[in-house]
Amino acid sequence: MSKPDHLSKIRFIHGLMKKEVDEIMNLIESQKGSMAETNTPPMDALIRGDEILVNIEIPGVSSDDFAVYLYENLLIIEGVRKRYCLDHKVYFMRVEREFAPFKRVLPLPFRVNEEETHAVLKKGVLSVTLKKTAE
């Protein structure tokens, strides 16, 4: 009888473990976008000619409760949805809306002109229009 080749067994086990870890990492990577954006306001972004149009649903949020800004090639929208009833005599029967900070980050496909960026909050929908730079 020959002695078992321990090195071959270790390599075999390592190969099995590597395969399992790779599969887990691929699963995590494929889910990253949806996991990272859980409990964030829904957003639509589209390109129309030389403009980017962004609509984000933030009902119950006033213009004092959020900020819109550009950083490098990113559009960042962040704020807080505050609890609207702070009366200690009131008890909620059901709470389904989140009262918490929110943040959405959108990578922009081209450079935009900060001076021609406009944001309007109307009926709980924030609409941001960004124009492409002339460069």
pLDDT band at residue 4 using 50, 70 and 90 as cut-offs: low
Residue 115's nearest CA partner among 105, 135, 134, 130 is 130
Backbone angles phi, psi at 31, to 5 degrees: -95, -5
Please give the pLDDT value at position 94.
76
8 A C-beta contact, residue 18 and residue 31: no
3-state class (DSSP) for residue 119:
strand
52-70 confidence digits (pLDDT tens)? 999 999 988 889 999 999 9
Q: What is the pLDDT of residues 96-134, one digit of tens each?
A: 777 788 899 999 999 999 999 999 999 999 999 999 998
- Identify the burial level of 13 via C-beta atoms within 10 angstroms of its C-beta, where 0-12 means exposed, 13-18 middle and 19 or more buried: exposed
pTM: predicted TM-score of the whole model, two decimal places:
0.64
pLDDT for the residue numbered 1: 47
The per-residue pLDDT for range 23-49, each reduced to its tens digit, is: 777 766 665 544 344 468 999 999 999
Between these two residues, 6 and 86, which has the higher pLDDT value? 6
